[in-house]
Structure 1
Amino acid sequence: MNINQVRRCVLYARLSVTKEESVSIARQLESGRKYAEARGWEVIGEFVDDGVSATVNRPEDRKGWAALLAADGFDAVVIWKVDRLARRVLDFLHADEALQKRGAGLVAVEDPIDMTSPQGRAFAVMLAVFGEMEAEGIRARVRAARAHLIKDGRFVGGGIPYGYRSIENPDGPGRVLEKDAERIGWLREAVLLAQQGKTVNAIATWLTDQHAPLPVRRKPRLDPENRAWNRQTVEQLLRNPILAGMTPHNPGRAKSDKRADPFAVVRDEGGAPVIDESLAIITFDEFGELQRTLDARDSPQARKRSEREPTSPLLSRAVLCDDCDVYLYRGANQKQPVLYCPKCRQTIGRTRLDPYLIDRLLTERGAEPHAGSTVLERWRAVGTDERARREILLSQVASLRIRRGVVGRYFDDERVLLRWRPGARFDDGVPVVARAADLRVVELSTDQRVDA
């Protein structure tokens, strides 16, 4: 880029956190406009990444910068300072390279850089180096401040655990945690149920049925009317070390590690966990036993994904909840495979459901043509391949829904609303008739009478 040939430019501004000493997005853009006006350049676009860290997010991963690269017709990108674009040298060089490929260049209002000469490019790289050093210094100061707050027993910010609240520190500056009278009782009951052997799903259902207050969210819910607890939230509560009065501390945990180690906590010089008895609702030993109980369960919802024992895919995205009109999820309850509705939480056991559906498929549809053969012959040919079996089943099903039943009852085939595709017949050639009310096929009685 030759700076004397620039006619049209775009502006780019970025800010990670708004602070009193920060140069706001508006000020960055205003400085860029004045810079362009003084040189007679036409500003044809302004692109912003607000609330985006340059240390964590590469330029190409930011929405504002990606939109800038997708635009056409500019000769230069005006930024306020080099560190507004990147805090790492490698990120800066990649961003500059992307602009060079399209014949555009960088201009900084506060940093006198000229990317048209080797000397100017070298100076720009030096500025990027200093920006990276500054970012590392900021991280070091943040870590040190966090360690100091934790050592003093103060709340370091972030999400407030369920059952607790943040208050002004009565013994000095900052804030501390204390038990929340409105929610701590619900937390105790959830822990007690888990200690008694209840599954995470069962606890979530119980909290929903009892209208327990939900955790306070920073962001508004997508569906404000949905007051149901979910399994993930309950498991997070049961794995939080604050239950035993400990403070979570994971300074070395990678971002990709979504599940924190419940025993990665603040420890004293001797390596023992620091425990605040005023916050604890169970002992350290009880907390350890609770974690072992959760880890020992075979249900897919209770274990890490890498450790889960998969359930049969035969009914994956094949069964709808008749009340909510959403697909039932695969899961396990008390080590038994189930299907459950993510909205109303109804469940149905698969130990009896799967054989029931297979028996009806082979009895009622076995003679139907499928893949150059019949359903029965094809079923026998695929053997125990569950995904191939699923394909055969879905090729014959027009609708498969489960309606709610009486809690605690054994398998009830009246909950299964099954409708075959046109052409369904029994082996003796008698056609199956569906009820008009609920579009389900019912089983014939012993005298082969159709209940219509």
Structure 2
Amino acid sequence: MNTQQERRCVLYARLSVTKEESVSIARQLQSCRRYAEARGWEVVGEFIDDGVSATANRPEDRNGWAALLGTTDFDAVIIWKVDRLARRVLDFLHADEALQKRGAGLIAVEDPIDMTSPQGRAFAVMLAVFGEMEAEAIRARVRAARAQLLKDGRWAGGGVPYGYQSAPNPDGPGWVLVKDPARQPWLAEVVGKALGGATVNAITTWLTAEGAPLPEGSITRRKSGATAWNRQTVDGILRNPVLAGMTPHNPGRPKSAKRADPFAVFRDEEGEPVVKDSLAVVSVEEFSVLQNLLDARSTPQARKRSEREPTSPFLSRVVRCDDCDVFLCRGTNQKRPVLYCPSCRQTMSRSAFDPYLVDRLLAERGTVPLGGSTVEAHWAAAGKSDEARREILLTQLDSLRLRRGVVGRYFDEDRVLLRWRGASPPAIVSNAEDLSDA
């Protein structure tokens, strides 16, 4: 790389967590500017990733670095130290390769490296190795510190479970978990209902109707402004092992594991769960029963996508709830396909609804011209493709809404409010002839 090429450069800075001993983003950029000024280089851009861990995020996955690579007309990238770019050797090599492809070099202010020579490149790789070793040492220290806190019965930090709060440790430094007197009665009622056979959805509806206080920091609200619970929150509360006085402890859980193992808890040297009776709402045995109930009643939406039973997309975002004015969602009830409202929870079995709708479409709109043919001809050509059938249905629909009705075993067509395109609005009263004779 010659002097002419090195006159245009960009700066890059990264910081995971702001601490007193950390070199701030501003200080990193200031050092990089001074380096560029001392060599007479023109700085054409500055890019940062603040609050981003180099261990958990590859350079190409960071917004700042991605924006840097999207910039043109520079031939050098100045960073403060190698570990600001990457803490894993492989990540560092990939980032350097991306710069090489565009003819740019990497310069570190505090690490005297020259990436234009084989010796400099080898030295840079060695620094990246040391950076990875340092990151692993930090992780080991954090794991050891957390294990010691749990062994001492202290609160290791993180989200405070519902019904509990952190308080100063009466026996020494740090914090401990204690019961929250304002939310404990609600927690006990929730657990009691679940053990008594109530579903998560039923408990969620009850909490919202009763105006139960939400978890600290929660801002879930309805359009009316009233607080509203959701089933994911309730499910998470019921799966937290602190209910049985146990402490969640599953280090190394991958980010892809959205639901933590409720029995991944802190254990003693014999492998038995450490139980703090002062925090327990139920026994360990009752907690196990509760988990079995939850697993047996988990809705398809709560399972991993690979474990869900597929449902037909024929009516996806087609039918609206007449009360709530939101699209009905697809789901299953006792392994039978249904549509349900995410707000008021009304449901409609699709076993009868789908054939009813298809029959009406073909009977009332089958001869309507469509794409040089007719609706009926296009429907026959669509075969069993639910996506193609949905597109045909949408060409004919003006609106399709479902209103609440009497819960029963049989399909009630009076619940269906359907209007075709170009058709006059339906009568408000379905039994108009009976009324006219009155």
Q: Which TM-score band (shorter chain)?
A: 0.7 to 0.9
Please give the alpha-carbon distance, in whole angstroms, between the structure 2 residues aligned to 1:333 and 1:201: 13
User: Which secondary structure state, in structure 1, belongs to the residue aligned with residue 290 of structure 2?
Assistant: helix
Deviation digits for residues 50-69 of structure 1, max 9, x if unmatched?
A: 00000111111100011111
User: C-alpha separation between the residues in 2 aligned to 1:373 and 1:37?
Assistant: 72
Which letter does structure 2 place at the counterpart of 1:288?
S
Write the distance in 2 (CA, Å) between the matches of 1:196 and 1:358.
42
Equivalent residue number for residue 426 of structure 1: none
- Deviation track 1:250-303 (CA, whole Å, cap 9, x = no partner) reads 123222111111111111122211111111111111111111112122631354
- Aligned pair in 2 of structure 1 residues 120, 253: CA closer, same or farther (>3 Å)? same
Equivalent residue number for residue 330 of structure 1:
330
Matches within 5 A, 1:93-132: 93-132=93-132
- Compared CA separation, residues 5 and 369, structure 1 to 2 (3 A): closer
Distance 1:324 1:79 in 2: 54
Residues of 2 paired with 1:14 and 1:234: CA distance?
37
Q: Which moved more, 1:180-189 or 1:145-154?
A: 180-189
The aligned residue for residue 242 of structure 2 is 242
Q: Which moved more, 1:115-124 or 1:223-232?
A: 223-232
Q: Which amino acid aligns with 2:23?
A: V
* Contact 1:231 1:301 (8 Å CA) reproduced: no
Whether 1:62 aligns to 2:53 is no
Shift of 1:326: 2.6
| Letter paired with 1:347 | Q
Alpha-carbon distance in structure 1 between the residues aligned to 2:383 and 2:7? 70
1:349 alignment partner in structure 2: 348
Q: Which residue of 2 aligns with 1:434?
A: 425
Q: What do the CA deviations read for 1:406-430 (whole angstroms, capped 9, x no partner)?
A: 78998654443211123xxxxxxxx
Superposition deviation, residue 392 in structure 1: 4.7
State the partner residue of 2:19: 19
Partner of 1:364: 364
Equivalent positions of 1:203-214 (< 5 A) are 203-214=203-214
Give the structure-2-normalised TM-score. 0.88
Inter-CA distance 192–310: structure 2 relative to 1 (3 Å threshold): farther
Residues 99-150 of structure 1, C-alpha deviation per residue, up to 9 Å, x if partnerless? Answer: 1222211111111111121111111111111111111110110111111111
CA contact (8 A) 1:77 1:104 kept: yes
Q: Give the Å deviation of 1:444.
A: 8.0
State the partner residue of 2:253: 253
Partner of 1:147: 147
Retained in 2: the 8 A contact 1:298–1:335? no
Does residue 187 of structure 2 align to residue 196 of structure 1?
Answer: no
Offset, 1:183: 1.8
Cα RMSD between the aligned structures?
3.2
Is 1:83 the equivalent of 2:107? no
Per-residue deviation, 1:370: 6.4
CA distance in 2, matches of 1:215, 1:333: 29
Residue type of the alignment partner of 1:23: V
CA distance in structure 2 between the aligned counterparts of 1:197 and 1:305, rounded to whole angstroms? 26
CA distance in 2, matches of 1:120, 1:157: 43
* Identity in percent: 71
Structure 1: stretches of 5+ with no match in the other structure: 423-431
Q: CA deviation at 1:190?
A: 2.0
User: Residue 322 of structure 1: CA displacement?
Assistant: 3.1
Shift of 1:71: 1.1
- Kindly state the Cα deviation for residue 35 of structure 1 after the two structures are TM-superposed: 1.4
- Normalised by the length of structure 1, the TM-score is 0.85
Q: Partners of 1:139 and 1:255 in 2: how far apart?
A: 16
Contact residue 221 and residue 228 of structure 2 kept, 8 A = no
Q: Give the aligned partner of residue 186 of structure 1.
A: 186
Asked whether the equivalents of residues 398 and 420 of structure 1 are also in contact (C-alpha less than 8 Å), the reply is yes
Q: Is the 8 A contact 1:368 1:374 kept in 2?
A: yes
- Contact residue 8 and residue 76 of structure 2 kept, 8 A: yes
CA contact (8 A) 1:336 1:349 kept: no
